Structure 1
């Protein structure tokens, strides 16, 4: 009995050992098949096109220059380096020509007013004479004509007085006019040897101005979100492009034309004249050109293969995707006809 029990035990152990060896070999073969399939294809994450970096500087949003001769300047109301508010008086001037014209107009007005008093009296006298004359009298018609003539003279004088008064109001404002700030800003004043003044008003609102080449012009548009960084301080601000110029600021043969790009920046973080860099994020996705198979791209997601229709263009050995693919998606870079939409990954 003991011999039989030993034999059965040995047979049982052999069966277990052989079964284990079989399962191990089967698993190894299966894993090798999976690895061979996985190694057949190469995957890579789709990346955004490298952001566009542009260089430039900070500048006031608005600037206004004034030149006033020493002869014209009546009073300077601001000082060099002063900060002013919108509507604040900057300076006043005096025009001798306008002052002379104003005096002449006032003299003319005074004469017309005297003539008006006489014409008014003349009309009243004519009316009195007419009221005392019978219609049947020979002088009635003459009395009527006198009233009409006096009335017309008075109307002409009233019209002349009104016109002269309008001119006086217009010229009076030009004799010693005040110039006010059209926007809040900082004042710079310089005088030449003759005492003539040059006044510059630079707005407190600042903007970044960078230049883009004609080759990259299509990569930046009005409203694009950008990051502006001050080179000296490394301070950054996320902002938006306010304008991409339609006309070049410079043309330089083989280097191509340059166009200004503008974006608002915070005056507390940046200073006028500061050197900056503007980074413009690109929305296009870049993958190897080999990822495209018959106009389609295959991606791996949740251990499944998905087929995607994309649009874009080839540039060298890369394919720039404009629609149909998102950054970060796992793309098969060497697809072939064996891949099927919806099948498991690895197969």
Structure 2
């Protein structure tokens, strides 16, 4: 009987030990209930852009100036402000030049004839003046009253002739002045016509020239383009990422293809959206300018990379208690309830206070999790 009891007790003990072993084995293989998430900044934002000159001057065909006779610059030529770019010739104005030159010649001839009239008048005045002097001398020397009377009568006639000669001389001099004014006016008209007959369009600023021969026949194509040596990048950003751009922000610009890189800064951001080319596209896009040293060809495609300092969180990691938000930090195997502040930007939850990059938090907390609790977690980064 005693032997039978011993066997039963040993069997029960064996079952207990086996049960404990199975429970321990199951507990050791049980998956952690919570996942850890490492707080990190948002991925860099990459936007499309193109290289363009800081300043560009376009010179189109101007038919009012006539036809293009010559383009004295070539592709790739470096010019300074004032350099002739396009030379026009106006055939109508050229014909008017001949007529106007005849008008100048006639006015010049009239002026020359008027000068001759003045010279003749001056000689006549001098002759009459000399006659008056001679008569006055004779009157002074005359002894006979009858002779004096005749000389006095002669003097009165000579003085009348002198007055008439002086009047004619004044008119002749006035005619000379008018003739030369006509000559100058005709020359002014000629100068204006010469400018219209042969006109040069000059560069308004320094830069590099680009010539398009198609522009000679089409007013819609620039004949000559002068682009500044300094370059900038013009990029586009959608309304979803517009808030991430700030003037003065440093960016990295790289060319597509050969991947040349240069640093730049956002110079300006347009406040008005680009007109949509597709009526079905309801996403607004905006232009922005990046300034920097970009020694690349115009219209080259680029990628503009913006580093983002925003800390992003999964929505499920954030718990609420009243009007406050908190997460569970995971530190050395324990959790610590930590109050945070967030902001929803573009559909993402962004941390504004309470956490920093590389902090570990519980990604899937629940109401059973307690502050200070020791737990095992699985990584979910």
Answering whether residue 253 of structure 2 is matched by residue 228 of structure 1, we say yes
CA distance in 2, matches of 1:51, 1:121: 91
TM-score (norm 2): 0.53
For normalisation by structure 1, the TM-score amounts to 0.58
After superposition, residues 35-46 of structure 1 pair within 5 angstroms as none
3-state secondary structure, aligned to 2:79: coil
Q: Secondary structure in 2 aligned to 1:250?
A: coil
Mapped contact 1:60–1:202 kept (Cα < 8 A) = no
Change (3 A) 1:140 1:283: farther
Partners of 1:314 and 1:245 lie apart in 2 by 24
The correspondence for 1:189, drawn from 212, 216, 219, is 212
Matching residue of 1:28: none
Greater displacement, 188-197 / 85-94: 188-197
CA RMSD of aligned residues (A): 5.1
Deviation at 1:155, TM superposition (A): 2.6
Answer yes or no: is 1:85 the counterpart of 2:78.
yes
Counterparts of 1:325 and 1:116 in 2: how far apart (Å)?
Answer: 97
Which of residues 155, 158, 164 in structure 1 aligns to 2:180?
158
| 2:275 is aligned with 1:259 | no
User: Does the Cα contact within 8 Å between 2:85 and 2:202 map onto a contact in 1?
Assistant: yes
Unaligned runs of 5+ in 2: 1-35, 133-154, 327-340, 363-381
Bigger RCO (CA 8 Å, 6+ sep): 2
Measured in 1, the distance between the counterparts of 2:53 and 2:272 equals 20
Say if 2:79 and 2:209, in contact at 8 Å, map to a contact too: no
Deviation at 1:101, TM superposition (A): 2.2
- Segments of structure 1 that go 5 or more residues without pairing to the other structure are 1-41, 298-309, 334-347
Aligned: 1:272 with 2:298 = yes
Q: Which has the larger radius of gyration?
A: 2
- Deviation by residue 1:154-179 (Cα, 9 ceiling, x = unmatched): 33333332333233333324433444
Judged with a 3 Å threshold, the aligned counterparts in structure 2 of structure 1 residues 51 and 130 are, in CA distance, closer, same or farther, namely farther
Q: Post-superposition shift, 1:125?
A: 3.7
* 1:123 to 1:210, Cα distance in 2 relative to 1, 3 A: same
- Correspondences of 1:14-163 after superposition (within 5 Å): 52-61=45-54, 62=56, 64-67=58-61, 72-78=67-73, 82-87=75-80, 89-130=84-125, 132=128, 137-139=159-161, 142-163=164-185
- Distance change >3 Å, CA 317–CA 74, structure 1 → 2: closer
Distance 1:215 1:200 in 2: 39
Deviation at 1:63, TM superposition (A): 5.1
Whether the 8 Å contact between 1:288 and 1:319 is mirrored in structure 2 is no
